[in-house]
């Protein structure tokens, strides 16, 4: 007689992001907008709460009204069986963070799979980009294509987390690839050692991208124009940043883009184009750089990239985030410009930066 195996009933436990706060003789359990108060909360409830952290059967949970209420409120989850997938261990805390988003109907494991299948193109590999790339690796983005034509210099190391002194003289993309794969060996990292001189240079790299992040600042405004044109032509969402200014995030037709930002600045000061042309004639200076500023701005870029990849509206959609030297930040509205030469279908577009100056 052949025996039949019985699948054990799944265990229930508190979601990882549930916060527990004392409130007199009560305990308030909270996850995002959802909350339940356990009154009274004594030694017996404390024992069961600790047991609930590890997992209890549905029968045990429903035997106590206060735990049943937690289950009905969505504060509990099923304990998944052990897995040999190393990413589930590596991204355990990320999965706990994503569990809060399950309240809107998504599954955290599906969200992680979506991030692991995502392909982001990063244009530029300076200090700001290095923190952006590092954050994307930490968030599980599965494929990165990075474009930069520079080599590592000793002066890069005060703000670039991906490089060491042993990398000085190497192409930045090669040094970054080695660093990225040591840190996240199951990530696909494509390095493109090349200088960008036009939108056409980027076209082959964007073929199957999900998102383009423009974090290069040279040549001023021209590189933003090329990234915007290439991304828009390829139909790929894009976000650009330079210094401590991030956005706007262009996802689809009707959203503002970085050239809408330029158009707005040009409307305010029509002489801006001439100023850009004249600025190009001056010798390039050596600006100061502070790693904490780059890490905070890079974190903002990566956070909005993560929001987009997970189907959440980015903070910089139709807005620009900017941080001042005193570390205070502001969000400014940047509407879609009907005369933008990149993302509008106007017959009378405002001039792009390249119409005022060509790179030397």
Is residue 30 scored above 80 in pLDDT? yes
Q: Is the pLDDT of residue 230 over 70?
A: yes
pLDDT for 275: 79
Phi, psi of 10 (to 5 degrees): -65, 145
pLDDT digits (tens, 9 = 90+) for 175-184: 999 999 999 9
Angle, alpha carbons 75-55-34 (nearest 5°): 5
Does this model's pTM top 0.85? My answer is yes
Q: What is the β-pairing status of strands 56-57 and 11-14?
A: antiparallel
Tokens describing residue 338? 């009907």
> Which residues is 270 bridged to in the sheet?
none
What average pLDDT does this structure show over 179-203? 96
Domain coordinates of the chain in residue numbers? 1-81, 117-355
Predicted confidence at residue 260, as pLDDT, reads 95
Give the pLDDT of residue 4: 58
The answer to whether 66 touches 45, Cβ cutoff 8 Å, is yes
pLDDT of res. 6: 58
Is a pLDDT exceeding 80 seen at residue 58?
Answer: yes
How far is it, in rounded angstroms, from Cα 167 to Cα 155? 12
Domain 1-81 fold: Outer Surface Protein A; domain 3 (3.90.930)
Least confident segment among 1-10, 111-120, 260-269: 1-10
Give the integer Cα–Cα distance in Å for 11 and 106: 20
CATH topology (fold) of 117-355 = Rossmann fold (3.40.50)
**Phi, psi of 320, deg, nearest 5:** -120, 130
User: Of 2-11, 111-120, 195-204, 266-275, where does mean pLDDT reach its minimum?
Assistant: 2-11
Contact 152, 125 (CB under 8 A): no
Write the pLDDT tens digit of every residue in 255-290: 999 999 999 888 888 888 787 888 777 676 566 678
pLDDT of residue 324: 80
Give the integer Cα–Cα distance in Å for 77 and 130. 36
What is the spatial distance between Cα 162 and Cα 122, in angstroms, rounded to a whole number?
14
In three-state secondary structure terms, 340 is coil
- Over 80: is that where the pLDDT of 209 sits? yes
Does the pLDDT at position 7 exceed 70? no
pLDDT greater than 70 at residue 3? no
The mean pLDDT of the chain is 91
DSSP state of 352: P
Distance (Å, whole) CA 18 – CA 91: 18
Confidence of residue 158 (pLDDT cuts 50, 70, 90): very high
Residue 5 above 60 pLDDT? no
Place of tokens 């990165």: 144
pLDDT above 90: percentage of residues in the chain: 70
């Amino acid at each position: 007689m052949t025996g039949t195996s019985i699948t054990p009933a799944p265990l229930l436990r508190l979601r990882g992001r549930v916060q527990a706060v004392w409130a007199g003789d009560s305990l308030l359990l909270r996850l995002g907008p959802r909350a339940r108060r356990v009154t009274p909360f004594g030694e017996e409830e404390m024992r069961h709460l600790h047991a609930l952290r590890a997992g209890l059967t549905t029968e045990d949970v429903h035997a106590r009204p206060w735990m049943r209420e937690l289950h009905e409120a969505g504060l509990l989850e099923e304990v998944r069986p052990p897995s040999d997938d190393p990413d589930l261990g590596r991204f355990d805390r990320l999965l706990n963070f994503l569990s809060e988003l399950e309240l809107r109907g998504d599954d955290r494991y599906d969200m992680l799979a979506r991030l692991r299948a995502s392909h982001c193109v990063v244009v530029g590999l300076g200090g700001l980009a290095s923190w952006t790339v590092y954050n994307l690796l930490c968030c599980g983005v599965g494929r990165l294509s990075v474009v930069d034509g520079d080599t590592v210099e000793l002066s890069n190391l005060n703000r670039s987390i991906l490089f060491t002194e042993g990398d000085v003289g190497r192409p930045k993309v090669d040094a970054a690839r080695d660093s990225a794969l040591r840190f996240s060996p199951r990530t696909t990292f494509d390095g493109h050692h090349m200088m960008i001189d036009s939108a056409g240079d980027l076209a082959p790299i964007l073929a199957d991208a999900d998102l383009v992040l423009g974090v290069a600042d040279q040549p001023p405004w021209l590189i933003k124009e090329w990234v915007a044109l290439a991304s828009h032509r390829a139909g790929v969402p894009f976000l650009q940043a330079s210094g401590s200014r991030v956005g706007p995030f262009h996802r689809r037709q009707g959203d503002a883009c970085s050239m809408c930002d330029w158009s707005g600045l040009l409307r305010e000061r029509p002489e801006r184009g001439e100023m850009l042309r004249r600025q190009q004639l001056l010798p390039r200076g050596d600006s100061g750089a502070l790693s904490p500023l780059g890490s905070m701005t890079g974190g903002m870029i990566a956070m909005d990239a993560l929001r987009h990849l997970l189907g959440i509206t980015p903070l910089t959609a139709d807005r620009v985030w900017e941080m001042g030297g005193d570390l205070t930040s502001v969000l400014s509205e940047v509407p879609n410009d009907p005369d933008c030469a990149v993302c509008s279908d106007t017959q009378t577009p405002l001039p792009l930066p390249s119409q005022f100056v060509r790179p030397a």
